[in-house]
Amino acid sequence: MPSRYDARPADVAGVLAGEPAYRARQAWDGLHRRGLDPQEMTELPGALRARLAAALPPALAAAAESVADRGETVKWLWRLADGALVETVLMANGSRATVCVSSQAGCAMACGFCATGQAGFERNLSEGEIVEQVVRARRRATPRRLSNVVFMGMGEPLANYDRVVAAVRRLTGDLGLSARGITVSTVGVVPGIRRLAGEGLPVTLAVSLHAANDALRDELVPLNRRYPLDVLMAACDEHRHATGRRLSFEWALMDGVNDRPADATELAERARPLGAHVNLIPLNPTPGWPTPGTPPAGVRAFRDRLRALGVNITVRRTRGTEIDAACGQLRAGHEVAPVAAPARRRWSSSSP
Ligand code: SAH
């Protein structure tokens, strides 16, 4: 039997065979719109609830859950059916909430500064494993409205293209989320960006740029050797024209590496022609890449320089926290201790 959210409407109907057709619709709605466990579907007779619960096991079992920022940030470490571990982070923002989901267990892109990249690739997540992360987070976010889903957890979403796009369609269809609130973040998988441009899905594309010249980007983001900047920028332009959506560039500021005045100039030259919005965050140092993030004064100077060059920028808010939920740090340390980690790191999230 498929997992709860890998099940198709026909699978749910099959479990409820012999019952009136509206029962399957009730169950499907309960699972998706309301995020209910079958046992909570009180409109169904007890025997049907039990049948659904037995036939459609959840894909995600919480191996650890940590809460920070007075309940405004929740991080889950999920254990999947085969033992793989992935993380989801829920971030509150006023009356709304954003969930950061994983698309793969591990990642094959090998960006040296990213904890997931350092650990290597394990496997793709299924469509249902992705959807279930959002369902769980949306339920937990209540009464806040889950308005945004960002594919910025573990993995490279465009390297798991079919399942990620199928999950996005489920989020907009079955869960009723707006495609405009969904961001797919990529290291620059050019064929994936081109395909995505043709899907008719108005999602936001975020490109993890981090360097605006090929020599430096080759070092920071190995995939750049396959799809260098000019090719990547052309694909971004195609996505922008096809969807009408504004592009984002992610830039993790690394002390003395990509935070110099010349880096700002090069970045502005890439961002301006595409009208791209730049998100700056200081790098979160990871065990395999001890370069510190740019200190606050340097972040401000870089931001001001970019602004003066006519680029739209958001500096991501860094909040202190007791949990390991930082960008690029997901899963760090879990091999050692798959439980809530003690206070020691800081993490970042985008401000609205
Ligand atoms: N593979 C996709 C999505 C996952 S990473 C991508 O690369 O876009 C989500 C974001 O976190 C990316 O912008 C990534 O570059 C950034 N990131 C990774 N490691 C980081 C670190 N140590 N500090 C700050 N940001 C990091």
pLDDT tens across 157-215, in order? 999 999 999 999 999 999 999 999 999 999 999 999 999 999 999 999 999 999 999 99
Q: Which of 87, 124, 152 to mutate for ligand 1's pocket (most ligand atoms within 8 Å of CB)?
A: 152
Answer whether 114 contacts ligand 1 (Cβ < 6 A): yes
Tokens of 179: 């495609």
Report yes or no: 145 and 137 within 8 Å, Cβ to Cβ.
no
The residue whose two tokens read 């502005």 is 268
Q: What is the mean pLDDT of the chain?
A: 91
Query: pLDDT per residue over 92-128, tens digit each?
Result: 999 999 999 999 999 999 999 999 999 999 999 999 9
DSSP state of 158: G
pLDDT the model gives residue 286? 86
Question: What's the full length of the chain, in residues?
Answer: 352
Answer whether 281 contacts ligand 1 (Cβ < 6 A): yes
Answer whether 350 contacts ligand 1 (Cβ < 6 A): no
Residue 87 falls in the annotated catalytic set: yes
Rounded Cα distance, 287 and 81, in Å: 28
pTM as predicted:
0.93
In the reported structure, the alpha carbon of residue 211 is separated from the centroid of ligand 1 by a whole-number distance in angstroms of: 13
pLDDT the model gives residue 347? 36
Answer whether 328 contacts ligand 1 (Cβ < 6 A): yes
Residue 69: which pLDDT band, with cuts at 50, 70 and 90? confident
Answer whether 282 contacts ligand 1 (Cβ < 6 A): no
Q: Which residue, judged by its Cα, is nearest atom 12 of ligand 1?
A: 208
pLDDT the model gives residue 323? 57
For 240-243, which contacts have Cβ atoms below 8 Å and span 24 or more sequence positions?
Answer: 240/205, 240/274, 240/275, 241/197, 242/197, 242/198, 243/197, 243/201, 243/202, 243/203, 243/205
Answer whether 252 contacts ligand 1 (Cβ < 6 A): yes
Report yes or no: 192 and 159 within 8 Å, Cβ to Cβ.
yes
Phi, psi of 317 (to 5 degrees): -70, 135
Query: pLDDT per residue over 258-278, tens digit each?
Result: 999 999 999 999 999 999 999
Distances 166 to 67, 182, 214, 291 between C-alpha atoms, Å: 30, 13, 33, 37
Residue 324: which pLDDT band, with cuts at 50, 70 and 90? low
In the reported structure, the alpha carbon of residue 221 is separated from the centroid of ligand 1 by a whole-number distance in angstroms of: 10
Which residues is 314 bridged to in the sheet?
A: 279
User: Which is nearest to 159 in space by CA: 104, 239, 234?
Assistant: 104
Pick the catalytic residue from 43, 65, 87, 111.
87
Query: pLDDT per residue over 135-170, tens digit each?
Result: 999 999 999 999 999 999 999 999 999 999 999 999
Distances 150 to 101, 103, 153, 197, 267 between C-alpha atoms, Å: 6, 10, 8, 17, 23
Pick the catalytic residue from 107, 111, 236, 327.
327
pLDDT the model gives residue 348? 38
Residue 100 falls in the annotated catalytic set: no
